[in-house]
Chains A and B, each alone.
Chain A
Amino acid sequence: MSALEIRDLHVTVETEDGPREILTGVDLTVRTGETHAIMGPNGSGKSTLAYSIAGHPKYTVTRGSVTLDGEDILAMTVDQRARAGLFLAMQYPVEIPGVSVSNFLRTAATAVNGEAPKLRTWVKEVNAAMERLAIDPAFATRNVNEGFSGGEKKRHEILQLELLKPRFAILDETDSGLDVDALKVVSEGVNRVRESGAVGTLLITHYTRILRYITPDFVHVFAGGKIVEEGGPELADQLESEGYERFVKAGAGA
C-alpha cells in the first residue's frame, strides 16, 4: 500500500498586487484503495490543491510538504511526478494541434512505464478502453482535445487514467459540464480503476451529483484554502441539503 501525504501545505499565486495565499495549511493522507472526495464552494482553493500537487508552475509552495511513500513530490518536475505515479484529470484539458490521440497515448505510456508498449497488445488495450468509455474509434486519429466536446474531453481524461494506471489519481471537477449519460460513463471508468484497489483517488467536486455514482470513503469540506470538516459519505448528503454556507463562514473565520 502506498500513501500520498499532504502536510501543512501553503500555496501562493502571483497576482498584480503581489503574491496571494490560496492554500492555508492543508493536511490530508490518501492511501491506495481509498477514495476521498474534496468538496467546496467555488474559489475555496480545491483546484489549486490539485494543480499544486501536479506541479503547475503558476503555484508556489511556501510551506509544508507533499510526499509519496516518503518521497518528496515537491522537489520533482511535473513529468517526474507523473512517472512517480500521480495523475491529474484536468477540468480544462488543452488542445495540442497536430498531435494525434494515439501518438499522445503511446508517448505517455512509454514515458510512464519506462518502455514502449508492445504494439499489438497496446492497440488492443487502447481499443478496449475506448469501447468501454463509448469513445468512437476514429477518435484515435484526431488531434489531442482539438474540437472535442466537453464530454469527449472528460472521457479522454478518464481513458488516460485507465491506460496509465497511476497510484494516485486526482480528478479535478471531472463531473462538470457532463450530462447524466456522460457522467455515468465517466464514473464507471473511474470505478473500474478503483476496483483494482491499486489506486488512491482524490475526487474534487463542487456538486454531490458524481458521488451518487462514485461512493467515497471520506468526504472533506474545503473552504478558505484548507479542510474545515471531515466525515464519511453522509457528510456529502448533509452538504446536498444544507449547502456550503456554514463552511464558508468557518473558513473565512479561520
Chain B
Amino acid sequence: MGVSHRVSEDVRPVAVESFDLADHPVPQGREEEWRFTPLSRLRGLHDGTAAASAASGGAQGKVVVEIDAAPEVVVETVDRTDPRLGRTGTPLDRVSAQAWAAFDRAVVLTVPREAVASRPTVVTRRGEGVDGAVFGHLLVEVEAFASAVVVIDHVGSATYADNLEISLGDSAQLTLVSLQEWADDAVHLSSHRARVGRDARLRHITVSLGGDLVRIHPVVEYAGPGGDAELLGLYFADAGQHLEHRLFVDHAVPHCRSNVTYKGALQGQDAHTVWIGDVLIRHDAVGTDTYEQNRNLVLTDGARADSVPNLEIETGEIVGAGHASTTGRFDDEQLFYLQARGIPEEDARRLVVRGFFADLLARIGIDELEDRLIAAVDTELERAGS
C-alpha cells in the first residue's frame, strides 16, 4: 500500500493546449501528468507507433458502437470536419491529441433545446480485439433547458483512445455515466472535456472495473455563473490492473459549484490505482463552492493506491473549498465482528466492501445502475475469493 500527497504550487495542467499532435511531445514518464502511468503498457497510443501502424496497413482494431437512444435524442454520425467538434476545448495531453488526429468519424448526441429525454441513452462500445489501435470521438450536446441521462458502456477487448466532449447549454441537466467494464486485456485512455453552461447541472460518473490499463482524464469548465458539477467515481482494481483517474475542475467564473467523490477498492498483487484531483479557483471565480474527496480501501497486500488532491485558490471570496483523501486497509476487526455473528467470511467481506461503496452508489441515483454496480462489485470480490 502506498499513498503519496503532492503539495502543489500550481495545479494548472502544464500541457500544451493544441489540436496539433506535433505540439505535444511524446511523454517519457517523468512528466507530472504521466509519472504514475506505465507507458510501456500503452501499446504505442502515446508515441505515435499505434496510429502509424494502423494507418500503414497494420492490424486493424475494431470497436463497434451501438446506440440505444431515448426518442428525444438526435443521434448523428459525422465526419471529422463537422464544425461542432472540438468546441469544448483543445486536447490537453498527447494521447488526447493523438485521438483527435486519428479518429475517423464521430458520434454526436444532441438533446434539443427544452427536450427532456424520457429514458437513458446508452452508447455501447464493444471492442473486438486488442490488435490495432482504435480512436474514437463522441460529442454529447445538451441544449438549453434540456435534460438527459447518457450511459457509455465500454466492453470487450481493445486498444482504445478517445475524446468525449460534453456541452451543457444554459440550465441544461445531464447525468453522464462512463462505464469501463472492459475485458482483462483492454487498454483505454479517455479525455473528457465538459463545458457547463449558466445554471446548468452536470453529474459525471465514472465506473472503472475492467481493463488492463484504464486512464480517464475528465476536465470541467464553466461557461457561465451558477453551474454545478458533481463528479462521482467508483473503481475496483484487481491484480496487475492499473486504473487511473485524473480530474481537473477549472473554476474561472463566479458562483459555480463542484463536488468530487471518488471511491476505490484494490485487491491482489500489483493492483494499482491513481487518483489525481486538481481544483483551481481562479481570481474571478468568487462565490465558488467546491469539495473533493478520494477514499481507497486496500483489501490485500501487494496493492498500491496513489491519491493526490490539489487545490489552488486565487481568490478569498469563496463559499467553501476543501479536500480529503484517505487510504485504509481492510479492517480485520470488522470481519471478526461479522463472523462472530455467524456470517461466513466471504459474505462478511462482501458486506464490508458494499458498505464502503454504499453512500456513493446511493448518490448515483439511477436505480437500475445501482443494482448492476452492486452486482459488479460482488463479482470483483468473487474473482479474488476464487
Which residues on A are within 8 Å of B, measured CB to CB?
A: 54-57, 77-79, 81-83, 87-88, 90, 93-99, 103-104, 107-108, 111-112, 143, 160, 164
Q: How large is the interface on B (under 10, 10 to 19, 20 to 34, 35 or more residues)?
A: 20 to 34
A108 touches B341 (CB 8 A): yes
Q: A46 to chain B: closest CB distance in Å?
A: 17
B10 on the interface (CB 8 Å rule)?
Answer: no
B342 touches A83 (CB 8 A): yes
Whether A160 contacts B341 in the complex (CB less than 8 A), given A96-B351, A96-B352, comes out as: yes
| B 341-360 to A, binary, CB cutoff 8 A, 1 in contact else 0 | 11111011001101111110
Picked from B333, B339, B354, B358, the residue with its CB within 8 Å of the CB of A82 is B339
* Beta-carbon nearest neighbor of B357 in chain A: A98
B345 touches A112 (CB 8 A): no
Q: In the docked arrangement, what's the CA distance between A81 and B345, Å?
A: 12
Q: B173 to chain A: closest CB distance in Å?
A: 28
* Beta-carbon nearest neighbor of B337 in chain A: A94
Q: In the docked arrangement, what's the CA distance between A111 and B339, Å?
A: 10
B341 touches A96 (CB 8 A): no
Complex A-B: 25 CB contacts under 8 Å: A77-B339, A78-B339, A79-B343, A79-B344, A81-B340, A82-B341, A82-B343, A93-B337, A94-B331, A94-B337, A95-B334, A96-B337, A96-B355, A97-B358, A98-B355, A98-B357, A99-B352, A99-B354, A99-B358, A104-B341, A104-B351, A107-B343, A107-B351, A108-B342, A160-B341
Known: A111-B347, A112-B342. 13 other contacts (CB 8 A): A55-B340, A79-B342, A82-B341, A83-B342, A94-B331, A94-B333, A94-B334, A96-B337, A98-B354, A107-B343, A108-B341, A108-B343, A143-B355
| B 323-340 to A, binary, CB cutoff 8 A, 1 in contact else 0 | 000000001111011111
Picked from A54, A77, A90, the residue with its CB within 8 Å of the CB of B345 is A77
Whether A99 contacts B339 in the complex (CB less than 8 A), given A79-B344, A94-B334, comes out as: no
B354 touches A57 (CB 8 A): no
- Top 4 nearest A-B pairs (CB, nearest first) are A98-B355, A98-B358, A111-B342, A82-B342
Q: Which residues of A contact B331 (CB under 8 A)?
A: 94
Picked from B339, B357, B358, the residue with its CB within 8 Å of the CB of A79 is B339
A-B contact count (CB 8 A): 81
Q: B31 to chain A: closest CB distance in Å?
A: 37
Picked from B332, B343, B352, the residue with its CB within 8 Å of the CB of A57 is B332
A96 touches B338 (CB 8 A): yes
Q: Which residues of A contact B342 (CB under 8 A)?
A: 79, 82-83, 108, 111-112, 164
B336 touches A78 (CB 8 A): yes
Q: In the docked arrangement, what's the CA distance between A90 and B334, Å?
A: 12
A164 touches B334 (CB 8 A): no
Q: In the docked arrangement, what's the CA distance between A55 and B337, Å?
A: 11
Q: In the docked arrangement, what's the CA distance between A199 and B165, Å?
A: 65
Q: Which of A57, A78, A88 has the most CB of B within 10 A?
A: A78
Q: Which of A56, A83, A98 has the most CB of B within 10 A?
A: A98
